[in-house]
Amino acid sequence: MPDLVAIDLPGGPQFVAALGAAWEAGNAVAPLDQRLAPPARRRWLDMLRPARVVSAEGTERRPGARPVEEGDALVVATSASTGGPKGVVLTHEAVTASARATSARLGVDPATHRWLACLPLSHIGGLSVVTRSLLTGTPLTVLDGFDAAHVRAAAGPDVLVSLVPATLARVSAACFYKVVLGGSAPPAALPPNVVTTYGMTETGSGVVYDGVPLDGVEISISPAGEVLLRGPMLLRAYRDGTAPLDEHGWLATGDAGFIDLAGKLQISGRLSDLIITGGENVWPAAVEPILRQHPGVAEVAVSSRPDPAWGERVVACVVPACPPGPPELAELRALVAQQLAAFAAPKELLIVESLPKTSIGKLKRQALREHVLRQPGSR
């Protein structure tokens, strides 16, 4: 049986070489996050159960290894934005399908274009840049993480790069041929060469570009409003052996969404994020962009807490732009009432120093809600 090889190396030629060597030997690869503290690293390895770990110090064999199946290519950690991480198993067939479909949609020509990888290779957004480059023969530059100066130095009119909103804000999209933007909700105004993507680790990177599914990808909306996806690039299973696909190959994403009048997919938010206050549905993703318009708001996220009168109370968690003078709740309520609806306006304001996020900048909503529940309520 093939082995699982954990790669504990920073981004760069060594990582790419280790990935290629493992694949050449018929094994699967699990990239390790270089930023993990030793206890977290041990827990992740105990869950993965690789046969060996490749690091700068050499190769370490590990007892109790669990093999992978023939054809497995990658085991990638989920982003853990809503809970503990899982190991997503992607086959070579799935990784190849993703590489071909994304390259075709983006118009990548290996003879003239180059990929730049600058996001963590332990997450699918960064790793998929490397794998699609290897599988399509497109030249590749790999950076050891995101550094704005290094990214700008590697940019060019022939370069494609994958970014998240937090990193896009620190470089100019105009310096690239195409910017593939994933992660959290994109800014309202984007240059024409920025392509927004929807996907997750379980889909092997983005599978919906600017609201339109890639070739071979199907979208369905369940009666409950949940987005369902089907296609050749979806995962085989999780590392623990559980398979999230139904008998017809559909993946329930946990996201609520709809197909708009232009035939494009629109995401409302995680089903678990929906706030029901006074019988009305409030999506944090609809309220947050409005609250960001206030000049006193540097960052904001919307959560909730139980309320005896309303069922749930909308709570705005704000990182103030000027800490000595944070915005007033009445000002934020007025903004939302004017642009959305009075029932969607926050009934409580929490001033925070920072928002809990994953390593690629996605908001950890469960951690935020737990923080809110630990704070004394106010009206």
Query: What is the predicted pLDDT for the residue at 377?
Result: 66
Query: What is the predicted pLDDT for the residue at 379?
Result: 46
Do residue 182 and residue 317 come from a single domain?
A: no
Q: Phi and psi at residue 38, in whole multiples of 5°?
A: -50, -45
Buried b (16+ CB within 10 A) or exposed e, 279-308: eeebbbebbbebbeebeebbbbbbbbbebe
The last residue of a domain, from among 268, 303, 325: 268
CB proximity list for 182: less than 8 A, separation 6 or greater: 125, 162, 163, 164, 196, 197, 198, 199, 205, 206
**One-letter identity of residue 11:** G
> What would the pLDDT profile of 292-306 be if each residue is shown by its tens digit?
999 999 999 999 999
Do residue 179 and residue 223 come from a single domain?
A: yes
Sheet holding 176-181, edge to edge: 140-142, 114-117, 156-163, 176-181, 194-200, 205-209, 212-213
The CA-atom distances, in angstroms, between 190 and each of 182, 249, 265 are 13, 34, 18
Do residue 164 and residue 182 come from a single domain?
A: yes
> What would the pLDDT profile of 145-186 be if each residue is shown by its tens digit?
899 999 999 999 999 999 988 889 899 999 999 999 997 778
347's torsion region: left (phi>0), alpha (psi -120 to 50) or beta?
A: alpha
What integer is the mean pLDDT of 136-143?
Answer: 96
Do residue 326 and residue 193 come from a single domain?
A: no
With a threshold of 0.85, does the pTM exceed it?
A: no
The last residue of a domain, from among 268, 285, 300: 268
Residue 366's domain comprises: 274-374
Do residue 152 and residue 296 come from a single domain?
A: no
Where residue 180 sits, what CATH number does that domain have? 3.40.50.12780
What integer is the mean pLDDT of 101-122?
Answer: 96
> Is the residue at 379 inside a domain?
no
> What would the pLDDT profile of 37-60 be if each residue is shown by its tens digit?
888 888 889 989 999 999 999 999
Number of domains observed in the structure of the chain? 2
Per-residue pLDDT band for 378 (boundaries 50, 70, 90) equals low
Do residue 248 and residue 288 come from a single domain?
A: no
Of residues 323 and 111, more confidently modeled: 111
The last residue of a domain, from among 268, 292, 325: 268
* Residue whose pair of structure tokens reads 């799935």 in the numeric block: 94
